[in-house]
Structure 1
């Protein structure tokens, strides 16, 4: 009876132990995103814009002269918001991304450090979620970039499975690349990670075959923004001033290299937790690095594993590259690239590539638990592991004490005034594009809080909203790529005749009240237009046609988005199919690199 009972409880015990990292990841996610999960509203903070409904405009498909930076993100939200509120969709994707980052870290430890127990995996989860990179990108509004960040440990696991001959790894890899491909940056992060692991020597199938397969998958995952750029040419020219404006930044008590090594150093000093703007940045970085450094000797002993070698190289590039990019020669090289290399504007925010350091950091943090216990020569290794894990987790949490509850309450949902919904119902897609006043892309509304926010009009309205892409950074400006939008903006500020706006495809002028910005002599133009709606929040004016506007064909762009969706859904479905009994190791769980 006792033996039979033991057999029956063993699977349950194993399931509970395997669920602990996922539950801890969920706990940290709720601690981090609490205000978004407990209050109704929309994420509207700096670059993050969610609206009740968004639409598949040319801008959403990347078919304008501005860079396709939010492709396929905006089109995906346009489709999702037809069945679910857009604010719910954004918060759900963000929550899933943060949770998946923690679960992926635990899975990565299980794959590459199979002897590490649950305590070590819990430390890995904590490092993956509770760090400056996540909080700073959250404060900057880069919620979709965190999807690419979350995909990195899963991408390493999938590429490792491919190296070990498990064909389901290809399905996992396809799904990871597509999920990361929600933004161009995420697509590049995951693609380079996959190629770095697959190009390393050893493993099966042959290196050339697996590298070619990963490259093709990466191109398919990136096809929405690649096709949009080819069709519209947006973002092929970038302002060299952006190199200095978006260079990695040194935090108090730390040089640029130290800030990057601590997974911080974002260019915007206002988009950082309060603790990272004081001397605590030095203390917090030291605590995080101590947890990580303790495990580096253990990883060094496994240096013959080519996957670990690839992960280590990525981490070195992730930290050293942006640090060098912030030096005089690095800035000069970046400015040259902006002028002479089409599409290099995608690289100008150098600190975002620090995400590549995360897989190594979580592995080292997990390996450190066993290393510390070994050095302490504990006679009770299981309890010792738990004790050291608790200490490491507390150190990581204390290193960033104000990450909790929306980074100190700074990431909270907002509610749009009723006027926004009214204007969204009025503007149609048959009467030209929308020009917006005041000039500029960023706003400071009373309902959105003290931080600047990206104008929500392009996501809220059914017609295309013209945006120049010009950014005000540290007292200067970085020119955007929106040539037609800039021309229309100059006409409005000069008080031009409405016929000149119509000749450039403008059918509406939206005035957003209560936010700073240049209005110039636009009143002269507005007096010649028909007011359609006016209240304390917004004013909408009609520009009589005919409207002259040309746009690239939408068919190829829509096809590219559908191909991306197919890769995402097909990869996920294939990865979840039952594994054939071939005596191979599980798709993400073999213990050692095979020759």
Structure 2
């Protein structure tokens, strides 16, 4: 009982140290993170538009939520709850001994992967990373309904959906077919638009440039392999705490050594998942040409061009291994806790950049004038600086913006501007107003003022798939109820609570 109180207090402190920026007001704008209070029901928010549906269903979900409450409230609540879930998952996977369990909780909540992804603005990927140890623990213990609900939350992002389903299928002993069926349902909001965009001829990328730009990155004192073993190595050197540039990544190797001490007690399924995730990340680093070939020829491979992201699959094994350091090895468990803290000692302070902004990110009058028409902004890039922060253009969340999607990394074009944006800009620069209208553009904006309007029709909003996704927890509950009913009929003496 005393240990449980210690675990709870430590978990609360660890969670608070990471999620504290989300406890303040304001809209979230930092690099790839843009969460407005009231995003609108636009085509791109639901997987339509000019680019691949990389932000479905999260953007559509937030647009629907914004009808009744600020979307920022929901995201901030999800961040806190998911971080708490990671602590619960660590406890569940551990041996319940004091120091190993505290170390597992610290690693689950505040590992380099989580900190770096937060600093890159990948909030929904972090939710998935936090939930993955809990998904693994629930699956290994046969808690099917809990697994399905957790994977649903993780599926806010395509990455979270795929890794959540993978971990669930690998770790569950029963109900895999139902899990797979629900997994397909979770994938629909981005998979269907992605298939349509592929056949339509979606945005092109430079495969080799993408493979090189998004490959895992070396860190001070440990190189690339050492960074990966310590769960770091994100491609963007700016998205890391300052301490990682000073050699503190060395302590990540200490964490890895402690993982090896507890690895014998870890279920082999978790080890396999870790080897797969780590192996693909290392492969992408060592063989960028092969990764480029995969990006060019394998449909959907672009989802994991940021290959360091696949370290997420190693999190359950790392957490379980740290949490299962033998009770007799007290010094090793204490060292593990120290190494975990020291590998990112400035994590909490570095996350201050994530605090919400109270600046006006869009002009409400302009948004109202544009309405549901498609709009070409002739002078706004994919990323813009607002309130001193580089972030995704806020207008892309509130109007049907014709999007370029161009991405340049270290001076190299990785994502080529979308074909429709290029055609629209060419037509506008050539003063071909008819071509602008034929491209479906109803409004042209320059300098945040409407400079031209056409009679083009407004686009349809593909909201059905996201709405179906939002109903999937109910479908999961009905599936579980049906399974329990069948089990009671086949074995009347068995208590249904045993399988919840």
- Return 136-145 or 175-184, whichever deviates more: 175-184
TM-score by length of 1: 0.76
Normalised TM-score (structure 2) = 0.89
- Distance in 1 between residues matched to 2:166 and 2:264, nearest whole Å: 26
Q: CA deviation at 1:264?
A: 0.5
Cα drift, residue 574 of structure 1: 8.3
Residues 348, 48 of structure 1: alpha-carbon distance in 2 compared, 3 angstrom cutoff: same
Mapping of residues 521-560 of structure 1, within 5 Å:
539-547=448-456, 557-560=462-465
1-structure distance, mates of 2:342, 2:281: 26
- 1:474-501 per-position Cα deviation (integer Å, ceiling 9, x unaligned): 1111124732123223444x35344432
What pairs with 1:497-508 in structure 2 (closer than 5 Å)?
Answer: 497-508=432-443
Partner of 1:53: 38
Contact kept in structure 2, 1:237 and 1:481, CA below 8 Å: yes
Distance 1:352 1:314, change over 3 A: same
Q: CA RMSD in A?
A: 2.8
CA contact (8 A) 1:42 1:50 kept: yes
Instruction: Decide whether aligned partners of structure 1 residues 53 and 584 sit closer, same or farther in structure 2, where only a CA change above 3 A counts.
Output: closer
Distance 1:563 1:21, change over 3 A: farther
Task: Give the number of aligned pairs.
Answer: 489
- The correspondence for 1:292, drawn from 252, 255, 259, is 259
Give the aligned partner of residue 288 of structure 2.
Answer: 331
1:218 aligned to which of 176, 179, 183: 183
Q: Which residue of 1 aligns with 2:356?
A: 413
CA distance in 1, matches of 2:276, 2:149: 25
After the TM superposition, which residues 56-67 of structure 1 pair with which residues of structure 2 at under 5 Å, given as runs?
56-67=41-52
Q: Residues 236 and 313 from structure 1, CA distance in 2 versus in 1: closer, same or farther, beyond 3 angstroms?
A: farther
SS of alignment partner, residue 442 of structure 2? strand
Please list the CA deviations of residues 495-535 of structure 1 after superposition, one character each: whole Å capped at 9, or x if unmatched.
53444322322222344xxxxxxxxxxxxxxxxxxxxxxxx
130, 155, 167: which is aligned to 2:110?
Answer: 130
Q: 8 Å contact 2:241–2:347 — kept in the other structure?
A: yes
Distance 1:333 1:566 in 2: 40
- Residues 174 and 270 of structure 1: is their aligned pair in 2 closer, same or farther, counting only changes over 3 Å? same
Q: Does the C-alpha gap of structure 1 residues 576 and 34 become closer, same or farther in structure 2, counting only changes over 3 Å?
A: farther
**Would you say 1:94 and 2:59 are equivalent positions?**
no
Q: Equivalent residue for 2:60?
A: 75
Q: How does 1:73-472 map to 2 (within 5 A)?
A: 73-109=58-94, 113=95, 116-162=96-142, 169-198=143-172, 203=173, 205=174, 210-233=175-198, 238-240=205-207, 241-282=209-250, 284-299=251-266, 308-327=267-286, 330-368=287-325, 370-373=327-330, 391-405=335-349, 407=350, 409-417=352-360, 420-429=363-372, 432-445=373-386, 447-449=387-389, 452-459=390-397, 461=398, 463-472=399-408
Structure 2 CA distance, aligned partners of 1:440 and 1:99?
A: 37
Corresponding residue SS for 1:44: strand
8 Å CA contact retained: 2:252, 2:339: no
Helix, strand or coil: the match of 2:27?
coil
- Distance in 2 between residues matched to 1:351 and 1:228, nearest whole Å: 25
Q: Does the Cα contact within 8 Å between 2:204 and 2:418 map onto a contact in 1?
A: no
CA distance in 1, matches of 2:335, 2:480: 36
* SS of the residue 1:509 aligns to: strand
Q: Given the superposition, is the C-alpha separation of residues 576 and 289 from structure 1 closer, same or farther in structure 2, using an over 3 Å criterion? A: farther
User: CA shift at 1:418, angstroms?
Assistant: 7.3
Output the CA distance in 1 between the equivalents of 2:366 and 2:454.
19
Separation in 1, partners of 2:89, 2:477: 15
- Structure showing greater Rg: 1
The change in CA–CA distance for 1:371 and 1:325 in structure 2 (over 3 A counts) is: farther
2:98 and 2:107 mapped to 1: Cα distance? Answer: 14
Gaps of 5+ in 1: 1-12, 163-168, 300-307, 377-387, 512-537, 589-595
Q: Which residue of 2 aligns with 1:4?
A: none
Alignment CA distance shift 1:543-1:572 (3 Å): farther
In 2, Cα distance between the equivalents of 1:316 and 1:418? 43
Partners in 2 of 1:172 and 1:194 — Cα distance?
11
Point out the more displaced range, 45-54 or 18-27. Answer: 18-27
How much does 1:267 deviate?
Answer: 0.8
Task: Give 1:120 shift.
Answer: 3.0
Distance, in Å, in 2 between the alignment partners of 1:371 and 1:222 is 45
